[in-house]
Chains A and B, each alone.
Chain A
Amino acid sequence: GAGVSQTPSNKVTEKGKYVELRCDPISGHTALYWYRQSLGQGPEFLIYFQGTGAADDSGLPNDRFFAVRPEGSVSTLKIQRTERGDSAVYLCASSTYLNTEAFFGQGTRLTVV
């Protein structure tokens, strides 16, 4: 595609529910990143994929958060037993290998009520 695509754009869920957020990177980009941006803050790193493998998952806050990229393209961020504190904008970015410029999607705004 022309850019990084994230779906859904907005998601409202009830506390305790499971959610999946999808990221479709730019075609050919081997690197994929997930960030979380809380209100009034800068984005915080969650996880980085190089191809199908998670090269760095040090930013995942706890074991309720998990991400996959089974075919090295589309990635899904999965959040179990959602909490109100998980409410944030979840941003995805992609880049070519070793390229310093990451291209961002428009994010998914997750609201846990």
Chain B
Amino acid sequence: AQTVTQSQPEMSVQEAETVTLSCTYDTSESDYYLFWYKQPPSRQMILVIRQEAYKQQNATENRFSVNFQKAAKSFSLKISDSQLGDAAMYFCAYRSAQGGSEKLVFGKGTKLTVNP
């Protein structure tokens, strides 16, 4: 079974600075998807960024980028120019690319605080 580990229960960053959230995962599959979700106090999970394992190029979405190291099974999220609205729980998630295995496997999350 696949597992996702987020080793940082909490992180803090100053507004306008850069922060990196760590995620590692364990799988025997070669094709899969990785995601970072943001969960504000409203509880709704919001997709931040996703990466297909077969793509070597790291995904980027505006201020959010990932460092995907397939051999090391590492998938970190970098948030640049942090804003107060970035404060939330962040979850790393894995999904198999095999048909019929549509479920997401989540880590325990990292609570990000942004200080003004």
Contacts and interface: CB of A to CB of B under 8 A. Distances in A.
Q: Do A and B come from one complex?
A: yes
Interface of A: 31, 33, 35, 40-45, 48, 50, 55-56, 59, 89, 91, 93, 100-107, 109
Contacts, number: 57
Contacts of B45: 43, 91, 93, 104
Contacts of A100: 33, 50, 52, 95
Centre residue among B45, B95, B107, B109 by max chain A CB count within 10 A: B45
Given A33-B103, A55-B100, A56-B101, A106 B42 contact: yes
B32 to A, nearest CB: 10
Interface string B23-47: 0000000000100010000111111
A107 B102 contact: no
Given A42-B91, A105-B44, 12 more contacts: A35-B104, A41-B109, A43-B91, A44-B106, A89-B43, A91-B43, A93-B45, A101-B47, A102-B47, A104-B37, A106-B42, A106-B44
Interface residues of B, number: 24
